[in-house]
Each structure stands twice: as structure tokens, then as C-alpha cells.
Amino acid sequence: ESFHSRIAQDREILKILLLLTGSIQSTRDEVTDFLGKFDDFAWLWTDSARDTYAAFAAQKPSLDEFEKKIRFFVDVETKLQNMQTTTAIGVLQLNSSGLISQLTELVRGWSLQFLDELHQKARQKLETLTEHIRQMSKRLKRTVSDIDALRHVMETLNYIREKES
């Protein structure tokens, strides 16, 4: 008779083995549930911040939509920081502080991607506007010495008035 068959016949060992199997399965289920809390953040490591920004920018978002998106990232970061860093499951003590800090860094990276793009877009528009104002100012500073110069200044003023309205 083999060792395995002798153990399989002992009822006490079988009872303890079944209890141990049940306990391990229960712990496994609880750990799976615990890890499920992080499923809401899966987009941080499965999606690309650049691709997501490109899709967002393709919709030609307004400043309010940018603000809403940045606020979303701030809310995700707050949610992460409010999560428990340690959780007791049976005899296990799970420490998720490293995972939470890495997820927080990922959220900040996403936020920076959107903020950098917004900054570049705003800077480009500001430079264009500044150049336009400089050109209009230059046209308005033209000395009015004849009727042609007066017509030119008046056209510039009309153009500015139309653009403002």
C-alpha cells in the first residue's frame, strides 16, 4: 500500500485537507474581491495617454471640457489617496501602498499630458493673438498725412470693430 493511499484512507487527514482547501478558496475569493477594487483604474495602464488625448483633441474641446477632464484626473487621484493601504484578509495583511502610489503617479502623468497640451495650445493662440495685435497697432500708428492714409486707418478701425463683435 502506497503512502498516498494510506493518507487518503485516514478520515482525520481528509477532514483537515477539506477544511484547508475551503479556507484557501475563501481567502482566494477575498483577495480577488480586494484586487477588484483596482479594476476602476485599469485604464491607467491599459490605455495610452497620448492616444486618449489625440481622440479628445479631435473633438475640438472647449476650455470647460478641458477643465472637466483635468478635474476628473484630480478626482481619481483623490480617490486613490483615500483608499486603505493595508487590508487584513484572514491571516494575510495586504499592503497596497506601493500600488496606490504607482497608480497616483500614472494619474499625474495622464494629467500632465493633458495640461501640457493645453498649455501649448494656449501659448500658440496667445502668440497668434499678440502678433495680430502688434500688426493692428502698427497699422493704426501710421501717420495720417493724406486722404489715402486716413482711409487705411479707418479700414483698420472697422476691421478691429468687426473682429471684436
pLDDT at 5 over 90: no
Q: How do residues 89-109 score in pLDDT, each as one tens digit?
A: 988 899 999 999 999 999 999
In terms of residue numbers, what domain contains 6? 1-36
Q: Are residues 91 and 62 in the same domain?
A: yes
Q: Is residue 159 part of a domain?
A: no
Q: What is the tally of structural domains in the chain?
A: 2
Segment 140-158 shows an average pLDDT of: 88
Q: Are residues 18 and 87 in the same domain?
A: no
- Upper half-sphere CA count for residue 136 (Cβ side, 13 Å): 16
Q: Are residues 99 and 47 in the same domain?
A: yes
Nearest to 49 by CA among 112, 121, 104, 101: 112
Q: Are residues 28 and 61 in the same domain?
A: no
Residue 3 confidence class, pLDDT cut points 50, 70, 90? confident
**Residue 123, C-alpha cell as written in the block:** 501659448
Segment 75-87 shows an average pLDDT of: 95
Q: Are residues 119 and 85 in the same domain?
A: yes
Entry pTM:
0.71
